Structure 1
Amino acid sequence: MADLDDNGHELRGGLRYPWPQAPDAGQVREVAPGVWWLRMPLPFRLDHINLYLLRHTDGWVVVDTGMNTEQTREVWDQVLTQVCDGLPLLAVVCTHFHSDHAGVAAWLSERFHCPVYMTFSEFHALHLRFPGDRPPGWDLLDFYRKAGVDDERSAEMFAVMSNAHFLPAPLNHYRRLREGSQLHIGGRTWQVVIGRGHSPEHACLYAAEDGLLISGDQVLPRITSTVGVHATEPLADPLRDWLDSIEHLRALPDSVLVLPAHERPFFNLHTRLDQLEAHHRGHLALLLASCDEPRTALELMAVLFPKLSGRFDELMALGETLAHANYLVAEGALEREEDRGRYRYRSAVRGACAVTPLRVF
């Protein structure tokens, strides 16, 4: 039996959970006046995403949408009839561009002729698509070869990436969110707080007077969001953005009720931020300790993620391994060397120039 606090909240892993169970798939729960938590199913091992319905005047505003699948559209048909009571969606807010968050934003917008709100970087990232209808270009192949992945394994990864599940319907319009933007919904003011690292310009929504934070994937209660490097920007440093965003979010009160995109709403924001930072600091230390001899990213992936189940997991794990390696290269703790078409990483020699110069040709 779980430990409970004086308010009957479950205590687990340093966090407090007001609700012992999530709603069933396709069902809702009111978590604050006019704020409804909708559990949308996903076709993965992570089998759900949390969406939030905000009541406003003569309709609703939805935060995030679910994936671009027939199942998602069927659940929306049910919710619009049974929960929204036939009232229209007035706006769609997408925290970020990932397929489970923006998959049917265009479909909902077209259905209700309503605007879609998201940040500039997320809107443009939404339209950077893997070329699933043609063979991968040299740049994609080169990215995975440099990481130590052979072409056969790469082809299997490409097949995963080209799955229609991962392709949100394209949008022809959006209304731009920025840091500090305010959305007035249902008598409540939501302020945009930007996080980075998991995606380019992730929008969290903070209602100060009510102590509510719709955190999307920027803060999750138990699992950690992927912070990865991808072929579109192979020398990116998203982990630095992620760690900076943790510090940015510490400006919010610890007392907020965090409404995350996965698992259950919780209290103790600052505790969770500490845990997220410690998780990545631990991975950095483990990776650095494994580079006494030159290692490829694929070899280091096996150190950080010894138990993976399939090519999708490998895609995520490889991107995250590269994020930690790139961070340590930028810090001067690792050297990155190119050897026969592979990047290899090793602990930096004391006194040497640790950061490999950027080659322009």
Structure 2
Amino acid sequence: MADLDGNGHELHGGLRYPWPQVPDSGQVREVAEGVWWLRMPLPFRLDHINLYLLRHDHGWVVVDTGMNTAQTREVWEQVFTQVFAGQPLLAVICTHYHSDHAGVAGWLAERFRCPVYMTAAEYRSLYVTVPAEQAAGWDFLDFHCKAGMDEAQAGELYQLIQNGHFRPLHFNSYRRLQDGDRVRIGSRQWRVVVGRGHSPEHACLYAEDGSLLLAGDQVLPRITPTVGVHATEPEADPLREWLTSLEHLRSLPDSVLVLPAHERPFFNLHARIDQLQAHHQAQLDRLLASCEAPRSACELMAELFPRLSGRFDELMALGETLAHANYLMAEGRLVRELHHAHYRYRRALLAPAAEAAGGP
């Protein structure tokens, strides 16, 4: 039986969860005045995304949309009838460009002739897509082969990301969100708080009465957002950007109710930030300890993620492994060398003065 506090909130892992049970797939729950939580199904092991429906004057605003699938559209049709009750959708807000967040933004916007709001970098990223009928380019193959794969393995990953589920519907215009912007929706004033690392310019929405944070994927309970390096930008340092963004979010009150894109809404934002920082520091230490002898990225991935179940997990795990490696290279603690078409990573040799001083 779960531990409960005086308000009936479940206590677990240092966080407080006001709703021990989640809504059924495709169902909604009111979490604050004028704010509904919609649990949208996904066709993965992570089987849902949380979308949020905000009451606004004579209609509705939605935050994120679900993937580009027939099932997603079916759920939205139910929402139009059962929740919106014939009132219009006035705007779509996409926290970021990932397919589960922006997958049917174009369909919703076209149907209701309403604008889509997102940041400029996220809108541009929608158009950096893998062509559906084109073989993998040299750069994609080169990236994955240097990580330790052969061309056949890299080709399988390319086929995976060509799936239509990973291809949000495009739309031809948007309204730009920027860090610090204020947006009134219903009775609340929301402030845009931009995070980076998980995606280029992820927009969170903070209710300025201190009550709510629509966090998207930037802060999740129990699981960690994917922070990865991929073929589109092989020398990126997204982990540094994401850790910096966590400190930006720490300026918000710990008492805020965090409404995340996955798992359950929770309290204790600052405790969760501490946990996420500690997790990635442990991963950095683990990777560095694995590099006493030169190792490929795929070998390091097996150290950091020993239990993978399928190609999609492998794609995400390799990206995360490389994000940690790039972070350590930027710190001067890891060295990367090309050896027989593969990169090998090894721990950087310390200068003699540092060794004598017993430096790390």
Q: Per the shorter chain, which TM-score range?
A: over 0.9
Partner residue of 1:39? 39
Shift of 1:208: 2.1
Partner residue of 1:97? 97
Q: TM-score, normalized by length of structure 2?
A: 0.97
Shift of 1:310: 0.4
Partner residue of 2:357? none
Amino acid in structure 2 at the alignment position of 1:339? H
Partner residue of 1:82? 82
Partner residue of 1:5? 5
Amino acid in structure 2 at the alignment position of 1:162? Q
- For residues 166 and 10 of structure 1, what CA distance do their matches in structure 2 show? 35
Partner residue of 2:207? 207
Shift of 1:152: 1.2
CA offsets 1:247-296 (integer angstroms, 9 cap, x no match): 11100000000000001100000000000000100000000000001111
Q: Is the 8 A contact 2:217 2:262 kept in 1?
A: yes
- For residues 237 and 253 of structure 2, what CA distance do their matches in structure 1 show? 28
Amino acid in structure 1 at the alignment position of 2:310? G
SS for the counterpart of 2:335 is strand
Q: Does 1:174 align with 2:174?
A: yes
- For residues 337 and 131 of structure 1, what CA distance do their matches in structure 2 show? 32
Shift of 1:119: 0.3
Kindly tell me the number of residue pairs found equivalent between the two proteins: 352
- For residues 25 and 198 of structure 1, what CA distance do their matches in structure 2 show? 25
CA offsets 1:231-251 (integer angstroms, 9 cap, x no match): 010010000001101111100
Amino acid in structure 1 at the alignment position of 2:163? N
- For residues 272 and 38 of structure 2, what CA distance do their matches in structure 1 show? 23
* RMSD over equivalenced CA pairs, Å: 0.8
Q: Does 1:323 align with 2:323?
A: yes
Task: Give aligned-pair identity as a percent.
Answer: 71
Which deviates more from structure 2 when the two are superposed, residues 42-51 or residues 124-133? Answer: 124-133
SS for the counterpart of 1:308 is coil
Partner residue of 1:358? none
Distance 1:143 1:185, change over 3 A: same
Partner residue of 2:15? 15
- For residues 235 and 196 of structure 2, what CA distance do their matches in structure 1 show? 16
SS for the counterpart of 1:326 is helix
- For residues 51 and 210 of structure 1, what CA distance do their matches in structure 2 show? 20
**What does 1:48-127 correspond to in 2, within 5 Å?**
48-127=48-127
- For residues 153 and 139 of structure 1, what CA distance do their matches in structure 2 show? 15
Amino acid in structure 1 at the alignment position of 2:100? D
Shift of 1:132: 2.8
Shift of 1:72: 0.3
- For residues 334 and 176 of structure 2, what CA distance do their matches in structure 1 show? 38
Amino acid in structure 1 at the alignment position of 2:254? D
Partner residue of 2:197? 197
Partner residue of 2:301? 301
SS for the counterpart of 2:180 is coil
Structure 2: gaps of 5 or more residues? 353-360
Partner residue of 2:261? 261
Partner residue of 2:358? none
Shift of 1:45: 0.6
SS for the counterpart of 1:91 is strand
Structure 1: gaps of 5 or more residues? 353-361
- For residues 210 and 345 of structure 1, what CA distance do their matches in structure 2 show? 45
Q: Is the 8 A contact 2:210 2:253 kept in 1?
A: no
SS for the counterpart of 2:193 is strand
CA offsets 1:53-91 (integer angstroms, 9 cap, x no match): 000011000000000001000110010100111111000
Shift of 1:351: 2.7
CA offsets 1:183-215 (integer angstroms, 9 cap, x no match): 100021010001111000000000021510000
Partner residue of 2:342? 342
Shift of 1:348: 0.3
Q: Does 1:187 align with 2:187?
A: yes
Which deviates more from structure 2 when the two are superposed, residues 334-343 or residues 4-13? Answer: 334-343
CA offsets 1:154-193 (integer angstroms, 9 cap, x no match): 1111111111100000120110000001110002101000
Partner residue of 2:245? 245
Query: Which segments of structure 1 move beyond 2 Å, counting only runs of 4 or more?
Result: none
Partner residue of 1:30? 30
Amino acid in structure 2 at the alignment position of 1:223? I
Amino acid in structure 2 at the alignment position of 1:173? S
Amino acid in structure 2 at the alignment position of 1:95? T
Which deviates more from structure 2 when the two are superposed, residues 307-316 or residues 338-347? Answer: 338-347
SS for the counterpart of 2:274 is helix
- For residues 42 and 175 of structure 1, what CA distance do their matches in structure 2 show? 27
Partner residue of 2:229? 229
Q: Is the 8 A contact 2:188 2:208 kept in 1?
A: no
CA offsets 1:319-348 (integer angstroms, 9 cap, x no match): 000000000000000001111211110000
SS for the counterpart of 2:49 is strand
- For residues 121 and 106 of structure 2, what CA distance do their matches in structure 1 show? 17
